[in-house]
Amino acid sequence: TISFEGCVAQLYTFTFSGSTELILLTVMSYDRYLAICQPLHYITMMSKGTCMSLMAGVWGIGTINSLINTLLVAQLDFCGPNLVQNFLCEIPPVLALSCSSTYLSEITVYMADIILGMGNFLLVILSYCLIIITILKIHGSAGKWKAFSTCSSHLAVVGLFYSTIIYTYIQPASTLLEKKNKTVSIVYTLVTPSLNPLIYSLRNKVIKAAFWKIV
């Protein structure tokens, strides 16, 4: 059981976290692009000031996106029974409960999906296309593997995050009431964030050595 205000607060926090992670993954792919494709200019192009500006942009866009979507949901009418068909309050299952028009909210969600979701996804794909082209030009398999290994953890997180998000949000709101989508929600809200530290830390040689020692 959760109050309406609590549900709206949870919806805002969840939307903010999701949208900032989308943009952050794109910023990280840009960082990998500079490190591999522009190694001599990396230090100057990714200075402390640039990193701070990128992070401010990530948090700013995430805040604006989640604020707009949350305010639109908060203005809707809910006549009951208000049973959220999920284990948390997120936009699609909450919209399905409204007895007023959700047209504006749905349009805003689709716009966010296209601009933030597909836009960032295409930028990540573009970055890795350029990275792959650069790696293929490297002479020797050792050099190619070293370059690719710097991207492996990021690629794993991108694959996990986008596959579940795309599967969930490209469907109409009515189909989101199915039980299988609750399982998918668990994957991208609990499993993926829990795996992130493990995936990134396994790039650390000391941690890898300790891991294989335990195994």
Position 143 confidence tier, pLDDT thresholds 50, 70, 90? confident
So what's the pLDDT on residue 9?
A: 94
So what's the pLDDT on residue 60?
A: 95
> Running DSSP on this structure, what letter comes out for residue 175?
G
Place of tokens 């597909």: 118
So what's the pLDDT on residue 154?
A: 83
Alpha-carbon separation of residue 75 from 1, 53, 69, 70 (angstroms): 21, 33, 10, 9
Mean pLDDT for the stretch of residues 174-180: 52
So what's the pLDDT on residue 181?
A: 64
Percentage of the chain exceeding pLDDT 70? 92
Domains of the chain, earliest start first = 2-140 (1.20.1070.10)
- d(CA 157, CA 153) in angstroms, rounded, equals 6
So what's the pLDDT on residue 169?
A: 59
Q: Tens digit of pLDDT for each residue in 67-103?
A: 999 999 999 998 878 888 888 888 888 988 889 898 9
So what's the pLDDT on residue 10?
A: 93
Percentage of the chain exceeding pLDDT 90? 32
- d(CA 43, CA 35) in angstroms, rounded, equals 9
Place of tokens 């989101």: 176
> Running DSSP on this structure, what letter comes out for residue 2?
-
Amino acid present at 35: A
Q: pTM of this prediction?
A: 0.80
Mean pLDDT for the stretch of residues 92-119: 88
